Amino acid sequence: MGNFEERVIPLGKDTLLASLVGAIIAVFCGIILLWLADSTVYTPESVPKRRFGGFLLLIVGAIGAFPSLKKMLRTSPALIINDKGIFDDTRLSSVGLISWNNIIDITYIHQRKSKTLFNEEFNYKKGWLNITVRDRGQYLTGGHFIKRLAKRLEACRCGNHIYIPATLLKWDIDDLQDIIQRYLAHYRKLKA
């Protein structure tokens, strides 16, 4: 493609670190709740509820911790942009290769700015890269059962749009959108 060499965008680890810390806190709270469930401070009727809550926190924390840790330790890129299309591997429901001939439009959806604890602007990349595709059905197969289920649930929620969260990418989202738009325009010019 001449000037259009392959672009490799790494995974941003800061968001994954935050989710890993949250999952570890949930596991820790679950352990404390299970440990204190039999305490004499509580009434006997609340002991099963506290055990169930502690067990639920353990499960939810473990489910959140393992994928975050796995993604933090991996070295493969989150996105690859080349002459074939965009290869998305940002999260569990990622679809893999999105070919240029299946892409209708690419936009960036900004999330409104949020305030911090001290009521200051939190200037951080928030939003999604929205890729509108012609046929979402071709991306629903492949991968293990849980990955296929995640893809189908996202397809039900999003229709023919594939969303890539900006917080998971270690790249300036405006530059990334510009690069992808240039690739898409170049592909359409070659196809015409």
Choose between 1 and 181: higher pLDDT.
Answer: 181
pLDDT at 68: 80
Could you give the number of structural domains in the chain?
A: 2
- In terms of residue numbers, what domain contains 56? 13-73
Q: What is the helix (H) or strand (E) element at residue 84, kind and residue range? A: none
**Of 50, 73, 96, the domain-final residue:** 73
By DSSP bridging, strand 127-133 and strand 103-110 are antiparallel
**Amino acid (one-letter) located at 65:** A
pLDDT at 122: 47
Rounded to whole angstroms, how far apart are CA atoms 61 and 68? 11
* pTM of the predicted protein model: 0.70
pLDDT tens digits along 124-164:
556 778 888 887 777 777 777 777 777 777 777 777 778 78
pLDDT tens digits along 62-109:
888 887 888 888 888 888 898 888 988 887 777 888 888 888 888 887
Decide if 8 is inside a domain.
Answer: no
**Of 73, 95, 120, the domain-final residue:** 73
Q: Quick one: average pLDDT of 47-72?
A: 84
Q: Which residues contact 68 (CB under 8 A, 6 or more apart)?
A: 16, 17, 19, 20, 23
87 and 64 inside one domain = no
103 and 173 inside one domain = yes
By DSSP bridging, strand 85-88 and strand 79-81 are antiparallel
**Of 73, 88, 114, the domain-final residue:** 73
Q: Is the pLDDT of residue 23 over 80?
A: yes
